[in-house]
Chain A
Amino acid sequence: MASVAHPEATRRVRRLERIWLERPGLLGWLTTTDHKRIGMLYLFASLVFFGAGGAEALLMRTQLLTPNGTTLSPGAFNEVMTMHGVTMIFLFVIPISTGAFGNYLVPLMIGARDMAFPRLNALSFWIFAASGLFMYVGLATGNGPNAGWFDYVPLASRTYDPGSAIDFYALGLIFNSISTTAAAINFIVTIFKLRAPGMSLNRMPLFCFAFLAVSFALVFALPALSIDCVFLELDRRLGFSFFDPAHGGSVLLWQHLFWIFGHPEVYIIILPAFGIATSIIPTFTRRRMVAFPMVALAEILVAFIGFGVWAHHMFAVGLSTITTVYFAAASMIVVIPSAIQLFAWLTTLVTGRPIFKTPLLWIVGFIVFFIIGGLSGIMFAAIPFDQQLTDTYFVVAHFHFIIFGAAVFPLLGGLYYWFPKVTGRMYSERVGQASFWLTFLGSALTFFPMHIVGLLGMPRRVYTYSPGLGWDGYNMVETIGAYIVACGLVLLVANLVVSYFRGAPAPDDPFGGATLEWSIPSPPPAYNFAVIPTVTSPYPMWDPSDREEDARKLERGEMVLDTGHETPATSVLDANLDEVLDMPSDSPWPILVALMMSGVFAMLLTGHLIAMSVFLGLLALVVGAWHGEEPEEVT
């Protein structure tokens, strides 16, 4: 719909613009329910947390540059180390992948005008932002969580960690889980119900399959974490005895529940990266993904198997042999769906005509790091190997290759890939490639030597080490690598910021992408699609006749839905048109609900139960007001 020349068509587009207009200015951002603006809010907030988590990483690496470093005190190191993990996982990777990329792109890829529950979507963002601030208030007031990101009891019990550091952790994560659960449910319903007519499940982009798998994993994984944190708070604040062996409790209970959440979490972190890879590879190789159905199934299988492998994080705690053997075997099975995807990407690259522009470079870097991190992962399924190397830097090396190399690289590639769509400007290709190479080489330099110091026996989470153990040179290289990564990332941000103001104007479809987001103007209008598209394949942009038909429909006024704030709902499997929905527009209630919930959690933390009840009452009032507004009946 690049050219809207027909007078009737112009009139309809104007009307859509009027209907979907939101409040201007700051108030507009605070009350927005537009999935694209919420996506941008998520992006900026998660990048701020990424900056904080990165600064924490650099602080740790500076401390470890030489033996007996004095940059951080042991206590400060523990806080910084814990907050680095919590931030990167809960406040950066999940929010940027589901929150920013998912929010912005899923509705565009499936041809919808918004998420299924736009106000819930806004609520998810505000709760996420509040929960992140909540935990950082802890750090700022000298009560930063300090027992590691997996917070094992008894170290995290009141006896060994008095004060409120762990309370900030437990309450913050419960708060954060509410946001993530709401977002996951929203994605599933959006993908089930709002796909454009004709986009049956087998024609849905692989990106959306990845997000569907992630969302299901979140729905079933997060309750274990939340209930674990509830137990911890009951133990710490009210003197319950869940984790107290003296009264029949068990410290292993914490570990089991944590990892029942924690291992699916690993796939939750990496699946969005797989989704981004399956978007970028076809575009830059000019061919369809090899083995589309296998890749879709593998994405879902990874999320599913992730629930049966949690105890491989616990091989060193003294579980029975039969248990460890089962979990070792189950962990090896994960190799199968991962390899299916890996070989599908490689085959697509090899049999296509790859153009190594910046986004594809990040994906190639991702594949390299995923192979390295994946191979060291398989090693851990061997129980004796795991027992030897658990809690050493070898583990740190493994999961940073996976989490930074494999999960974050595609996110950064995705930032470049969709930058023209979101801003309407092109980024600088030369600076983009430079930022990739700096980050790639810096990461290898930072994380590869960690394998070696791990094998040499350096334990993880230590605030310093003695000279003469053979670790000094490796640690120095790692720290230098970390600063090179930081330079690469600063270059990336600078590239995007400068391009936002000075970049060349971007066409609607600068790369010849395959999915529907490239069919609309850059940046996308508030209503996304002037005509609800009809889809006949998983690569709708490579079906030019369908897109020409969309343009003719705009002239005829079919599927324009310009009588209200409307989007169609379709059936779950076949995406047959079911009904037209009246969607909510901007609303003050989500941010107010998030504020009241913040009040409740803050009062829980400080123990002011009366004030907490007041906030609960206010919360009920605001929720009631929210539900006082009902949608129009569209016939």
Chain B
Amino acid sequence: MTSATVAKRRLSMPGGWWGAVLLVATEATLFASLFATYYFLRFNTAQWPPPGVPEPKVTLPLILTGVLLASAVPVLLGSRAARAGNVRLAWLLFLVALLVQGAYLGVQIHEFLGDLDRFSPHDSAYASIYFTLLGVHHAHVAVGMLIELWLLWKLLGGLTRYRLVAVRVAALYWSFVSLVGIGVVLTQVYPAL
């Protein structure tokens, strides 16, 4: 029996998938704490961002988030292809996603370093939460790329039930990271709106 048929015959989701749902739940709470901190600090201060700190860019971050959201599509399609038993297609789709996300992260890190040159987290609570929020999100993207790399390597050896669960977990994780990206970018650009 192929792993794809076993996956279809299951009455409920496998344990690995539930584990990933709970990981996402605890990660979502982490981001919620960051958002809460951002707005808590914001409403403690009259001027936001404080004097001397430039307003955030708007267009580029929004475009980048669009790219990140779009990159979740090949991941989800890849997960669907793997469930249908089409490993080659899944592999290609994950590769496409990985390349797009790599480019995304490259630009984001460039922007992050540029921002660090213009203002420093030492000077204000605004900058502290700004860099922390973005840094945490970038770290999540980087971890997601490592997971994809690992999947690409594993899928070279064909599909097993274990790897199929891993594929679905990766898709779930990417859905989360790209969706939470919307919250991150809206918070990031909010002072300039």
Contacts and interface: CB of A to CB of B under 8 A. Distances in A.
Contacts of B32: 223
B66 to A, nearest CB: 27
Nearest to A631: B162
Contact of B11 (A219, A248, A571): A571
Given A248-B44, A576-B11, A223 B123 contact: no
B137 to A, nearest CB: 13
Give chain B's interface residue range (CB within 8 Å of chain A).
35 or more
Interface in B5-49: 6, 10-15, 18-19, 22-23, 25-27, 29-30, 32-34, 37, 40-41, 44-45
Contacts of A578: 10-12
Interface stretch (B83-91, B125-133, B172-180): B125-133
B29 A223 contact: yes
A391 interface: no
Interface string A228-262: 10110011001111101001111001001100100
B37 A238 contact: no
Interface in A202-221: 219-220
A581 B150 CA distance: 23
Contacts of B41: 242, 248-250, 253
A100 interface: no
A181 interface: yes
Interface in A40-56: none
Contacts of A631: 162
Contacts of B18: 116, 188-189, 192-193, 572
B12 A185 contact: no
B33 to A, nearest CB: 5
Contacts of A244: 125
Nearest to B48: A248
Given A223-B26, A248-B124, A253-B41, A116 B15 contact: yes
Given A185-B26, A253-B41, A242 B33 contact: no
Given A116-B19, A578-B10, A242 B162 contact: no
Contact of A220 (B13, B26, B150): B26
B2 to A, nearest CB: 10
Contacts of B23: 185
Interface string A609-635: 000000000000000100100110101
Interface residues of A, number: 50
Contact of A219 (B10, B13, B29): B29
B27 to A, nearest CB: 8
Interface string A168-203: 000000000000010011101100111000000000
Contacts, number: 125
B79 to A, nearest CB: 18
A224 B1 contact: no
B191 to A, nearest CB: 13
Given A219-B26, A630-B162, 15 more contacts: A184-B22, A220-B25, A223-B29, A223-B30, A226-B30, A231-B37, A231-B128, A235-B128, A240-B121, A249-B41, A250-B125, A257-B37, A572-B18, A578-B10, A633-B3
Interface of A: 116-117, 181, 184-186, 188-189, 192-194, 219-220, 222-224, 226-228, 230-231, 234-235, 238-242, 244, 247-250, 253, 256-257, 260, 569, 571-572, 576, 578-579, 581, 624, 627, 630-631, 633, 635
29 contacts: A116-B19, A181-B26, A188-B22, A189-B19, A192-B15, A193-B18, A219-B22, A222-B26, A223-B32, A227-B34, A228-B33, A231-B128, A234-B132, A240-B121, A240-B122, A240-B128, A242-B41, A247-B122, A248-B41, A250-B44, A253-B40, A253-B41, A260-B33, A578-B10, A578-B11, A579-B14, A630-B163, A633-B3, A633-B160
